Every structure is written in C-alpha cells, then in structure tokens.
C-alpha cells in the first residue's frame, strides 16, 4: 500500500516540504551534523550490516540458532528491499544536493528497512528495555540521515521502516529462544 501511494504521488507535498526543510537546516545551523550523518549512513549500509553481523557471530557461539535467525532476518530484509526497489523503480529526490553516492533506486529506503530489521531483531534477541532504548534512536537517526543527505524522500524512509517492521513481525514467529 505504501508503495502504491508513493507511486501515485500521495506523499509528494509533504515530501517536498520536509526535504526542503532538511536542506535549509543542513546548510544552516545543521552543518556540523553532516559528517555524523555521512558516517552513520556508511557504517549502516549493506556491507556495514554484514560486517556487524559477522562481528556478532562469536557472541552467539552458544546460541547459534539465534545468530542464524538474526542473519536470516538481515539477509531477507536486504533481498526484499532490492526487489521492491526494482519493482517501484523510483528515482532519487533532486531537491537538495546528494551527500552520499547512491546507485540504486530510492523507494523504499534500504537503510531504513534493513536497519529496522537488523537492530530490531537484535533488540528482540537481547530482550531487555536497554536493547530497545538503544535500537530505536539508532534506527530513527539512520532513517533521518538519509533525508538529511538528500538521497531519500521522507516517505521512502517511513515506508522502509514499515517494511522493516513487517519483516520483524513475520520473522519473530520463527525466533529461537533456545541456546544450543
């Protein structure tokens, strides 16, 4: 539904307003935040998530089923997003300068969906309030950074988050709580 609404331009007015506002703040008082947004975006792209997944593997050596579930969620999110990007073939916004080189389509945001799935799955595995207190702001900052850097419309990010939540809801049915 999100993709159909986006393709029909249902979000265009709000997207333009928010994108212009991000550009104004970015070139004004927000300039010091841009290097952080670039770093956050680069660290949490597809290769970054795969490196984090690999680095987490030793922590799950006694709970390998949980690590396999996390890996499955992460890879599923990446593959689904790639398919959706090609299905909708939405061009990147062009209202403000892109500060992160991109080669793929815009909709839905792979950073938003992939990191929602990865950090959300990790929070589910940690199963504490602190897991979510860490994951939620990180997920929000990553999504906002994509608009800040000019490479996604706000609706790309919001729909990416929705995609990530859907993956988590479905995957959680198969989450292993056993450590073997």
Long-range contacts of 144-147 (CB under 8 A, 24+ apart): 145/36, 145/37, 145/38, 145/40, 145/41, 145/111, 146/41, 146/100, 146/109, 146/111, 146/112, 147/18, 147/19, 147/22
Pair 179, 69: CB distance under 8 Å: no
95-122: average pLDDT = 91
**DSSP code of residue 107:** S
State the chain's mean pLDDT as an integer.
90
**DSSP code of residue 154:** H
Pair 119, 170: CB distance under 8 Å: no
Is 99 a residue whose pLDDT tops 90?
A: no
Is 2 a residue whose pLDDT tops 70?
A: yes
Is 48 a residue whose pLDDT tops 60?
A: yes
Helix (H, G, I), strand (E, B) or coil at 71: helix
Helix (H, G, I), strand (E, B) or coil at 102: coil
* CA-based nearest residue to 5, from 164, 162, 166: 162
71-93: average pLDDT = 94
User: Which pLDDT does position 177 carry in this prediction?
Assistant: 65
What is the phi-psi region of residue 89: left when phi exceeds 0, alpha when psi lies from -120 to 50, beta otherwise?
Answer: left
The rounded percent of the chain whose pLDDT value lies above 90 is 64
Distance of CA 147 to the CA centre of its chain: 12
């Amino acid at each position: 539904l999100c993709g159909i609404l986006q393709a029909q331009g249902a979000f265009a007015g709000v997207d333009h307003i928010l994108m212009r506002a991000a550009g104004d703040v970015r070139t004004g008082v927000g300039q010091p935040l841009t290097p952080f947004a670039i770093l956050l975006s680069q660290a949490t792209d597809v290769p970054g998530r795969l490196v984090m997944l690999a680095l987490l593997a030793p922590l799950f050596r006694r709970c390998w089923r949980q690590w396999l579930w996390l890996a499955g969620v992460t890879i599923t999110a990446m593959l689904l997003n790639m398919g959706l990007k090609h299905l909708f073939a939405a061009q990147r916004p062009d209202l403000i300068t892109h500060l992160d080189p991109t080669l793929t389509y815009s909709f839905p945001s792979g950073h938003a969906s992939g990191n929602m799935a990865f950090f959300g799955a990790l929070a589910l595995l940690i199963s504490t309030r602190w897991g979510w207190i860490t994951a939620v702001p990180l997920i929000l900052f990553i999504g906002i950074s994509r608009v800040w850097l000019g490479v996604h419309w706000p609706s790309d990010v919001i729909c990416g988050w929705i995609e990530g939540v859907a993956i988590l809801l479905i995957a959680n049915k198969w989450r292993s709580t056993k450590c073997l």
